[in-house]
Amino acid sequence: MMSIQSRKRASSSSNAPHGGDHEGGDKRPKGNAYEVFLSFRGIDTRKNFTDYLYTSLIDAGIHVFRDDNELRVGEEIGPELLCSITQSTISIPIISENYVSSKWCLCELVQMLKCKRSKGQIVLPIFYKMEPSQVRHPMGRLREAIDAHKKNMEEMVVKEWEEALKEVSSLKGWESEKIDNGHEGTLVKIIVKKVMGELKRLFQLNVPEQLVGIEDHVQQIMSNIDAEFNGTKIIGIYGMGGIGKTTLAKVLYNRLSCHFNCRSFLANIRETSQCKGIECVQKQFIDDPREQRAPLFALDGPDPPTFYKSSLKGAYRALQS
């Protein structure tokens, strides 16, 4: 059974489906505060490229962190900033001419790569008016910036920064000057499309690639759903066991998920409620979209609608409180 409380996707973070069914598997960080973290050197790109990219991502309904503090107090990167990186799904370092001269940018870069190695965070570097080889083998002003850090920072810290620069230079990203002869509008569109694709992939449930005869059923159900997603709709899928009800629900979930702020696929409700109690199902039902609006729920469980009415009534009440 699927519940659709309908409002189109807005600018906010999203929750992944539970139960290990999504393509991102266990690598998908849980409880992410942001979908994208932007790391950039303010004097180079704050009021131009970064601002354009940030606005375009927000307009696409993506929850983005952009640090707006130009001046910082103290010598260490703040815990809030580290937390924002850790709790992001995708990190985008915008490496520009003065990026290396900022110890804050380098600390952010190190943290992004740590998250990439430890939890599968996606890192998509942009070499803004730079080439990866310049980052991999710093010379000129870049080398001078690193040497200046060596005078004020511990040797091990600077070495870690240099290793991070080498690592990020080997990642697949974009060179701004090689995209449409440096036209930044084209580059931003490409980046937004890539981010949307990565986020969608992480939320998709695993279903067989070739499903015979399911498309007619999908279209029949989709025809009963308002294209503007107005109002709340509950769709019941009934039938004998083993005929593909759950698979059909997964396909519908994948088709609809991109339109909603948050999504939740609650699988095996009967078994979970029998083993752990209905309170466990209610808790998951509440926790997934607690800070969200316009949720899409797919509930895989017993047939009688009275089960859903009784078990989810309290969950909805808590959700709205």
Question: CB-based burial of residue 39 (10 Å sphere; 0-12 exposed, 13-18 middle, 19+ buried)?
Answer: buried
- Positive or negative, the CA dihedral 10, 15, 20, 26 is positive
How far is residue 294's CA from residue 9's CA, in Å, rounded to a whole number?
7
Helices 215-222 and 245-256 cross at an angle (nearest 10°) of: 60
The torsion angles phi and psi of 35, rounded to 5 degrees, stand at: -90, -35
Three-state secondary structure call for residue 34: strand
Cα–Cα distances (Å) from 108 to 40, 79, 99, in that order, read: 9, 11, 11
> Which residue is listed with tokens 């870069």?
109
Catalytic annotation, pick one of 108, 131, 184, 271: 108
User: Would you call 108 a catalytic residue per the annotation?
Assistant: yes
Task: Report the half-sphere exposure of 291 (CA within 13 A, side-chain side).
Answer: 9
Torsion of CA 104, 105, 111, 114, to 10 degrees: -140
Catalytic residues: 108
